[in-house]
Amino acid sequence: MAQQKFITIYDELKQGIFDGTYSYGDQLPSEHELVEKYHASRETVRKALELLANDGMIQKIRGKGSIVIDQGMTEFPFSNLISFKEVKEELGLKHTTNVLLNEVIEADAVPHVKKHLNLTQNQPLIHIVRSRSVNGIVKILDEDYFLTSIVPSITDQVAKDSIYHYLETELGLEISYSNKAITFEPFTECEYDVFGKVQPPYTATVRSIVYLKDTTQFQYNVSKHLATEFKFNEFSRRHTK
């Protein structure tokens, strides 16, 4: 029960930071106040606060308590392996997804993808292109390739909603980790068609190879963000001896 309670405290405080109940620089309720509010032990409360500190959301300062140091996030996180739907729900962002293309192609047609997925044969791939918009303005262009031997099919509705939710809940796949690389690239004709005449005409392009728990490479993703709005937030804490 204690473990469940400290996770509950952590989740509720984290949500409060995300939704603006606690803003940057605010002090969280004291340990004593949290003990009384949740009818928990001081050790349970401290475990929850330690999780928030490890996430880079708070800093514990002697004499002041727990201070919020998270400054929020409005763009898609680069460092996390997280679906677009999860970002929307977690941060309360009002984005929409449009499916521009959903087809099956041969790996030989995209040699760079074949190489990244370490394929030796001409295997079929699901090829999906989606745009992500805010208030009718496209902010992100996503292009995905999935091995049909792992993911037999993906409907347009699934692609519009959440592919990862479908893969994990319907197909029972265990998505584990990814390798990512980021480059800044000028618009091609394709980007002009999708994003329009944006200045400067550059994208922050994130290329990812995604692996299952058994280390199988099953997805190659190219995510193009408007360079002017791309943010790379990574929290680092120095651990002293």
Is 77 a member of any domain? no
SS (H, E, C) the chain: CHHHHHHHHHHHHHHHHHCCCCCCCCECCCHHHHHHHHCCCHHHHHHHHHHHHHCCCEEEECCCEEEECCCCCCCCCCCCCCCHHHHHHHHCCCEEEEEEEEEEEEHHHCHHHHHHCCCCCCCEEEEEEEEEEECCEEEEEEEEEEECCCCCCCCHHHHHHCHHHHHHHCCCCCEEEEEEEEEEEECCHHHHHHHCCCCCCEEEEEEEEEEECCCCEEEEEEEEEEHHHCCCCCCCCCCCC
* Last residue within a domain, chosen from 39, 68, 97: 68
What pLDDT, on the 0 to 100 scale, is given for residue 1?
42
Is 29 a member of any domain? yes
Residue 61: CB partners within 8 Å, gap ≥ 6? Answer: 67
Distance, in Å, from the CA atom of 151 to the CA atom of 190, rounded to the nearest integer, reads 27
* Last residue within a domain, chosen from 68, 97, 113: 68
- Same domain (yes/no): 55, 106: no
What pLDDT, on the 0 to 100 scale, is given for residue 55?
78
- Same domain (yes/no): 218, 111: yes
For the chain, first and last CA: distance in Å? 33
- Same domain (yes/no): 194, 139: yes
219's tokens = 């997805």
Name the range with the highest mean pLDDT among 18-22, 79-83, 89-93, 236-240: 18-22
We report the CATH number of the domain holding residue 131 as 3.40.1410.10
What pLDDT, on the 0 to 100 scale, is given for residue 199?
85
- Same domain (yes/no): 178, 124: yes
23-80 per-position pLDDT tens digit:
878 899 999 999 999 999 999 999 999 989 887 788 888 888 898 877 554 444 545 5
We report the CATH number of the domain holding residue 2 as 1.10.10.10
- Same domain (yes/no): 8, 50: yes
Is 73 a member of any domain? no
Q: Which amino acid is at 6?
A: F
Residue with tokens 């680069």: 78
Is 21 a member of any domain? yes
Distance, in Å, from the CA atom of 67 to the CA atom of 53, rounded to the nearest integer, reads 10
| pLDDT exceeds 60 at position 141 | yes
What pLDDT, on the 0 to 100 scale, is given for residue 87?
54
Distance, in Å, from the CA atom of 135 to the CA atom of 197, rounded to the nearest integer, reads 17
* Last residue within a domain, chosen from 22, 39, 68: 68
What pLDDT, on the 0 to 100 scale, is given for residue 90?
54
- Same domain (yes/no): 183, 64: no
Is 108 a member of any domain? yes
- Same domain (yes/no): 52, 10: yes
Number of domains in the chain: 2
- Same domain (yes/no): 113, 64: no
- Same domain (yes/no): 161, 208: yes
Query: Higher confidence at residue 40 or residue 137?
Result: 40
- Same domain (yes/no): 61, 102: no
Distance, in Å, from the CA atom of 4 to the CA atom of 44, rounded to the nearest integer, reads 10
What pLDDT, on the 0 to 100 scale, is given for residue 17?
85
- Same domain (yes/no): 119, 7: no
Mean pLDDT of 14-28: 86
Strands 95-106 and 124-134: antiparallel
- Same domain (yes/no): 88, 194: yes
* Segments forming the whole domain that contains residue 88: 84-226
152-197 per-position pLDDT tens digit:
999 999 999 999 999 999 999 999 888 888 899 999 999 999 999 8
Residue 33: CB partners within 8 Å, gap ≥ 6? Answer: none
What pLDDT, on the 0 to 100 scale, is given for residue 53?
86
81-105 per-position pLDDT tens digit:
555 555 555 555 567 899 999 999 9
